[in-house]
Every structure is written in structure tokens, then in C-alpha cells.
A and B are shown apart, each in its own frame.
Chain A
Amino acid sequence: MTIPLKYNLRNLRVRWRLTLATMLGVALVVAVFIMVMALARGLKATYVSTGDPRNLLVLRKGSTADTSSQITRDAARRIKYLDGIARDEHGEPLASAEIVVLATLDRLDGAGTANVLVRGVGAPAFALRPSVRLVEGRLIQPGLRECVVSRKIAERFANGRVGQSFRTGKTVWHVVGMFDAAKTAYDSEIWVDADEARKAFNRDFYGSILLRPVNDAAAAALTQRMESDRLLQIRVLPETEYFRDQTKMAGPIQFLGTFLATIMSIGAAFSAMNTMYAAVGARTREIGTLRVLGFRRRAIYLSFLVESVILALAGGALGCLLSLPLNGVATGTFSWTTFAEIAFEFRITGELLAKGMGFALVMGVLGGLLPARVAARKPVLDALRAV
């Protein structure tokens, strides 16, 4: 025979001040855990969503990022017209030789400068990346010092609006359009014509080539063909894989989240334990009465454990609620791979909420085990005699 849940719920309500304080303690632990993990998730999601499974990325052998890769103009020309690359409606190959450079721009809020990625692109760049949509103005024209900026850059940096212009070194770039990259990594970039970028930034080479093979078989053949060419000295990898590699940046943040949550939950479990011991102490006589009524030790043990779990789970649910408004909030951090800022959003998933509740459950069980044992072991007569 088990003790009805109502007994626990009513008890929690009677001692509402203590219940609330303990719940809040658990809630804050869960909220911190979810927030930090949502940051890591958001960062990862940004990179993962960036790659297109149909595209291949060509880099110099040994380089790990397109900012540090070099591909000669000769090689770029040869690669562009290889067999097996898809063509657009005008019959031009869907291959964009690109160069990514860093530019230091002024922040709009006057808080100094930050590094921004400027990507020199070929005409097929937009067709290769369907997630990038023009939302204002027009596309850049080859041969002109024009640029299109992502919405996020336009919002955060000075002179980034359509119609304005900004300088990098001696070059003045006119902003002719603004794009939205559907929360991919391109949302932190400015796009210009690749050859203009090479001239303006004094580069004799391209950085990478993004291309689309006609099908999987062609992709395999192209990879084999390019990588085995000793003169090219390049590395070919699926675009998705390249961006998956970048997600390791989220590692330290994830570590921080787990570390914080673990230590904080031990602390919160201690406080839950305090609450439960107090509950057991205050109800000594009730426990005796329950035993006389015929409830077994096991039932009492279970009842107190359940009470502790209910308390923690309610706290966990509150923590989830507290963290939810953060979902979708924009933030940014510095990437050591590109030396530039990357913008992304906090992302709270169902799985993350479930994990947060998992932490709450553990806190409840840990906090309830010992007090429940004490309650169950109380001798009946002593318990009844207690005032």
C-alpha cells in the first residue's frame, strides 16, 4: 500500500516558503545549464546548417580554414572547367573561386573595432548557397568595388547600410545590397567581387573554390582527380564536413556548461537535502501515525523520496520556463580559426530541456535518499512520542 501523492503535495503547499526557496534553487541551476548549453548548440547549429551537402570545397593541402588557404589563379582556372561540375542556365560552371580576407571595421555602437570576414566571390556564389537571399538592393557586379552585406553586419557596423560606403585601406566599397543568410555562418560576412578583393587586398591568389558536382559519382571522381594531381597540391572535402570541423569551437562552452551544472547541482542537492531533513523532522509524529495506520517502512521511504523528486522536478520545470525567453536571442563570439567574429543565436531544443529536467531529477533523488531513509527507520513508538 502506498501513501497517496496528495499527502506530499499538501505538505509541500503547507511549507510553501521553504518549498519555493528550494524550487528556485533547483530552477536556477537548470536555467544556467540550459542557457550555457543553448549557446554551444547555437554556435554548432550555425556551422552545421551552413554547409550544403551537394557542394565540394577545395582548399590548399594542409590548410584548415578558407582564410588561410591559397589556390593559384592557374589552378583555379583549371579546376573550374573540369568535367563533372554542374552548369547554370547560361552554361557556366557552378564553381566559385573565392578569397576570404579580414577587414577591421568600426562598430556602430562606438565600442571600437572588430574583425569582419570579407568574402570575395564569383558570380555562381549565390546559386551555390541557396540559403543566402538578397533582401534589399541588388547583387554586386563583377569589376566594380561594390559589396553586399549580411543583415547582421549592417546592424552592427558603421556605414553598412545600402547606399553607404566604407573603406578598407585605400579602397572604398559601396554597399549595394543586403542579404539574409538564414542564420548560417555567412550571416557574419560581407561579399565582394573576388578579383576586386584580390586587387584591393594585394593577393595574387584565391583562397578556396566552392563547386557543385552534377551528382555523387561525379563528386567522387572530381575529388579523386584533383587530389591525385601533384601539381595542384590541394585538398577536397564536402562543404558540410568543413563546417562540421568548425563546430569544435563549441567545445569549451559545452565543457563550461557541464562543469557549472555539475557543481551547482551538488550544491542544490545539499539544499534540497536540508529541506527534506527539516520536513522529516517536523513530521516525526505523522510518520509514527502513518506506521500505526499500517503503512510499511518502504511506503514511507518511497513517499519522502517522491516528495523530494516532485520538489526538484517543479524547480526544474520553472528553470526551463526561465530559460526559454533566451531562445533565438542573437549573440556573437570570436573565432580563433578565422580571427573574426561569428554571430549566432541561442538555441534551446527539446533535448536540452529534457537534459535540464534530468539534472533536476538527479538533484531530487540525491536530496531525498538520506532523509527518506531516516524517516523510514524511525521507531514507531519514539515517533509517536515526539512533540
Chain B
Amino acid sequence: MTLHGFILRNALRNKRRMLLTVLSVALSLFLLVTLQTALRELTQPATSEEAALRIVVRHKVSLGNVLPEKYQSRIERLPGVAYCMKLTWFGGIYQDERNFFPQFAVDAEKLFPVFAEAEIDPRQLDAFIKEKTACVVGRKTMQRFGWKVGDKIILRGTVWPVDVELTIRGVYDGGIDETNLFFHHEYFDELMGRKGLVGTYWLKVTDPSVIPGLVERIDTAFRNTNAETKTETERAFQLGFISMFGNIKLLIRSISTVIVFTLILVTASTMSMTIRERAREIAILKAVGFDGRQLLGVIMAESFGLAMAGGLLGCVGAWLVYSHIDVYSLSRGFFIKFDVTPHILVTGLLVAALLGVVSCLLPARTSIRASVVDGLKELD
């Protein structure tokens, strides 16, 4: 019998116990992967090369204050600015308050040049730009409500005292976020009865290197006006929101730590059960000439195998589950992508590997150190 065969036989000796241990490790790693994915989704705004070219101009006091319309032409004239687009949060309700998804009024013809990573059929884009009450919607939101191109929808204003009636003229894919709805700022201005209610300006620059100078120049240009601005990169803008989640992040981190700790505990107790049962065998092995290192290797290989089997089951299981269920609809729009990234998978498997090694150390040491005579005296 080879050493490998010996280890495998040992692991399978108590099938029920092995199964229970593997399953409990798998469940815990499933949770760990879930939490890490949630954490990533909450803390890391999706980025792309395109995003590095965008900066956001908002009112210095807060997002709740609006900027004048005349800023647009002034910003557009600055060197390095490719596009300057109005983007105003509408925050309307579609039928029921629970149907939350982001809606924005934008300059229709600039939308796709600015968010160049989003893809849309050119004919749909054309139809959207031509019609003032048209809108384009991200693929996910279309699916969530079962909308089709050509449908008419009404959004009840909450932030603004108007309701918008829109016709869906296009669907876009990809890009930062497939849940948004965009409609004409012109139509919004018309409903509000005046121009100059602009939430933010989103700029696309010609080259990332111009950003630092441009940020400075824009903020200086509007200093000491009634509406001073705060300009920052898209990433900084989004991180600003995320920092306010503060404690939730800490919460998820601590829960993850507790899970890992519990795991070690559970696996270690299983391993110690296994090892104690074999005290006699270990003594025999020692008596026939195996040394401590070899014995530790045998024990560790078994515990490592158990932990990795559970780890693979949990991590790959989580990946399979989350790539097949529609987390976006299930969480009512709270989570958008819920991608289990390779990074998270690898982290999960590393935790499993570490678990396999750590959990057997203590029980293995105790039984290896025990004298051969004591070991042989053990009944079972």
C-alpha cells in the first residue's frame, strides 16, 4: 500500500464524518465568498479605462444644490474638454416605491460619446436623439420590468415636482451600470418651466494627463460666484458615496473574520476526533519507524484534502449559483452585478488551504508527542 493510498483510506474511513466536515466547510466558504462579493460590490465602483477620462463637476455645498446652465458653455471652452454633459438625478418612482432604479436627465446627443463603454444599436440611438420624450434604458432594468422598446412609462417625480412620460427607444448594454434610465434634459427643463436646474456636469477629457490642471481651473473659474463648484474624478466622486457606508463595510469584514474563525474551530475539532481515534495506529507507525515529520505529513495531507474539497465545493458552488441566478432582481436592485471575481475565488481557496494546515496542527502535535507506550495502551 502506498502512502497516498493510506492517506485516502484514512480520510474515507468514516465517510459520514468526512461528508459532514466537507459540507460544513463548503457552506462556510460559500458564505465567505458571498460576503466578499457583496463587499466588493458595495465598495468598489466598477471602473474602466473610459472612466479614467471622466470628471464630475457639482455644487460645492452638496449634491442637493443645482448649478446654473450657463456653466456648460464656459466649461466646454476650456482646453482638454472633449464633452461636457448635463446629468441630473431624477429619482422618480415607477409604479411603486420598491421599484427603485436610477434615472437621469442628460444631454441626449452627448450621452454615448461620454459613456463610450456602453453599447447601443445605432438606429435606436438615432431614434432616441430625435425624439424629445424618448429614453434609453439599461438591459438589466429592461429585463427586471419586462419592458420592450416602444413601451411608454411614467415616472412619478419625488425630488422634482413633475412626472415624466417617456417612450423607450433604445436599450444599452455594458458600461458602468446596466440599470440606469436616461432621458432628455431638454424635456426635463420644459416640464420644470425653466432651465438652469443642473445637478452635475460630466466631462470627458481628451487625455487623463489634463485632469489635475482642469479640475483646478474649473473650480477657480467659479470661485466667489453664487454656485461654487467641486470638481473631482469619477472615481473620487463614487468613492465619496461609498465612504458613507463606513460601518457596513466594517460589519461585513468582522462577520467574515468570525466565519473563518468558526471554520478553523469546527475543522480542528473534527481533526482532533479523527486523530484521537487513531492514537493507537499512530503509535504503531512510530514503533515501526515513521518519524514525527512523516506522521505530521500524513495527518496534514488528510486535513488539507478535506478542507480543499470543502473549499472547492463552496467557492465554485457560490460562483455557479451567482452566475446563474438573477441577483439584481432578487435583491430588488440593491446589488447590480454580484460578480464572483477570480480574485475572490482564489482568496476563498487560500482560506481553505490555510484552514487545512492550521486545523490539524494542534491535535497532530499532541498525538505525535505522546509516547509510543501510551499510544499502544489506548483501546480505541
| CB neighbors of B among A326-343 (8 A) | 331-334, 336, 339-341
The answer for the CA separation of A18 and B17 in the assembled complex, in Å, is 14
The 7 closest A-B pairs by CB, nearest first: A21-B269, A102-B62, A334-B244, A270-B24, A102-B64, A267-B27, A271-B266
A263 contacts B31, CB within 8 Å?
yes
A387 within 8 A of B: yes
Residues from chain B with a CB closer than 8 A to the CB of A340 are 244
B241 contacts A334, CB within 8 Å?
yes
The answer for the CA separation of A64 and B156 in the assembled complex, in Å, is 11
**Given A60-B161, A260-B31, A102–B63 Cβ distance below 8 Å?**
yes
B226 within 8 A of A: yes
How many whole Å from A30's CB to the nearest CB in chain B?
Answer: 11
Residues from chain B with a CB closer than 8 A to the CB of A68 are 91, 158-160
Task: Digitize B27-67: 1 where CB-to-A-CB distance is under 8 Å, 0 elsewhere.
Answer: 11011000000000000000000000000000111111100
The answer for the CA separation of A334 and B244 in the assembled complex, in Å, is 5
Residues from chain A with a CB closer than 8 A to the CB of B16 are 277
| CB neighbors of B among A26-78 (8 A) | 28-29, 31-32, 35-36, 39, 60, 62-65, 67-68, 70
B20 contacts A202, CB within 8 Å?
no
A86-94, A106-114, A140-148: which one contacts chain B? A106-114
| CB neighbors of A among B289-315 (8 A) | none
Partner of B64, one of A67, A271, A273: A67
Partner of A333, one of B30, B245, B259: B245
A32 contacts B266, CB within 8 Å?
no
A31 contacts B246, CB within 8 Å?
no
Given A62-B157, A334-B244, 5 extra CB contacts under 8 A: A25-B262, A102-B64, A170-B224, A270-B21, A278-B273
The answer for the CA separation of A67 and B91 in the assembled complex, in Å, is 12
The answer for the CA separation of A168 and B226 in the assembled complex, in Å, is 12
A8 within 8 A of B: no
B379 within 8 A of A: yes
B12 within 8 A of A: no
A101 contacts B161, CB within 8 Å?
no
The answer for the CA separation of A84 and B28 in the assembled complex, in Å, is 60
| CB neighbors of A among B237-260 (8 A) | 240-241, 243-248, 251, 255, 258-259
Partner of B269, one of A35, A201, A275, A339: A275
The answer for the CA separation of A18 and B63 in the assembled complex, in Å, is 56
The answer for the CA separation of A263 and B61 in the assembled complex, in Å, is 45
The answer for the CA separation of A264 and B260 in the assembled complex, in Å, is 11
Residues from chain A with a CB closer than 8 A to the CB of B380 are 282, 387
Residues from chain B with a CB closer than 8 A to the CB of A282 are 380
A104 contacts B31, CB within 8 Å?
no
| CB neighbors of A among B210-266 (8 A) | 224, 226-228, 230, 240-241, 243-248, 251, 255, 258-259, 261-262, 265-266
**Given A28-B258, A333-B247, A18–B91 Cβ distance below 8 Å?**
no
Residues from chain A with a CB closer than 8 A to the CB of B156 are 62
Considering the complex, give the chain B residue whose CB is closest to the CB of A245. Answer: B97
A372 within 8 A of B: no
B23 within 8 A of A: yes
A103 contacts B61, CB within 8 Å?
yes
B6 within 8 A of A: no
**Given A29-B262, A101-B64, A103-B61, A267–B24 Cβ distance below 8 Å?**
yes
Can you list 6 residue pairs at the A/B interface with Cβ under 8 Å? A18-B273, A62-B156, A101-B64, A168-B61, A267-B27, A274-B270
Residues from chain B with a CB closer than 8 A to the CB of A332 are 246-247
B245 contacts A334, CB within 8 Å?
yes
Task: Digitize A266-297: 1 where CB-to-B-CB distance is under 8 Å, 0 elsewhere.
Answer: 11101101110110001000000000000000
A115 within 8 A of B: yes
A130 within 8 A of B: no
The answer for the CA separation of A282 and B273 in the assembled complex, in Å, is 11
A274 contacts B21, CB within 8 Å?
yes
Task: Digitize B96-115: 1 where CB-to-A-CB distance is under 8 Å, 0 elsewhere.
Answer: 01001000000000000000
